[in-house]
Amino acid sequence: MTFSLILPIVLSAVALFFASFLSWMVLQLHKHDWVKLAQEDKFMEAVRGCDISPGSYMFPGCNSMEEMKSEEYARKEKAGPHGVMTVFGPVSMGRNLGQTFVYFLVASFCLAYLTRLAIKPPATDFMTVFRFVSTAGFLTFFSAIVPHSIWFKCRIVGHLIESIAYAAIIGAIFAAMWPAK
């Protein structure tokens, strides 16, 4: 990969980071992804009493396939409720924002690498680069949430809108800055 792609890689990461901020904080595409429990105080008190370590949990849960086949598990499964719960430790907004930026930087680098393998400069027109990068970008940003949504029932509407926007942003930046020689 040439050094001429460093600027579009970094610029794309910065643009995607700010697009993510706009998506979450201004447009609030994920506002309805999570809803408040009707009896939140009662639930929190019950969970607090269980002294649960940070991590992801499934209920009813099991530790083996044999346990999943047991009558006790079947009884719990039938009685419900079923769910997944993630318990956080202390949250560091700075660390999370930093990791988000690194994610966009790595994604931009990988898309630059893929595009450089597929499209050789010079004299590549804007639309050729835009179509390739935006398609690969859409696959990058959207594909992971689909199986997650299938298994864990999360909403994907906001993710779909973000993925289309991110793909267009990164496609336009790379197309506009693709090396001429």
**Residue 4: per-residue pLDDT:** 84
What residues does 146 pair with on adjacent strands?
Answer: none
CA atoms within 13 A on the CB side of 70: 12
pLDDT the model gives residue 154: 83
Total-model pTM? 0.83
pLDDT in tens, 116-154: 999 986 667 899 999 999 999 999 999 988 888 888 888
Tokens, residue 176 = 């506009």
- Which tens digit of pLDDT belongs to each residue from 29-48? 888 888 899 999 999 999 89
3-state secondary structure of 85: strand
> How do residues 2-29 score in pLDDT, each as one tens digit?
688 999 999 999 999 999 999 999 999 8
Distances (CA, A) of 131 to 158, 169, 175: 22, 12, 9
The string over 18-30, giving b where at least 16 C-beta atoms fall within 10 Å of a residue's C-beta and e elsewhere, is ebbeebeeeeebb
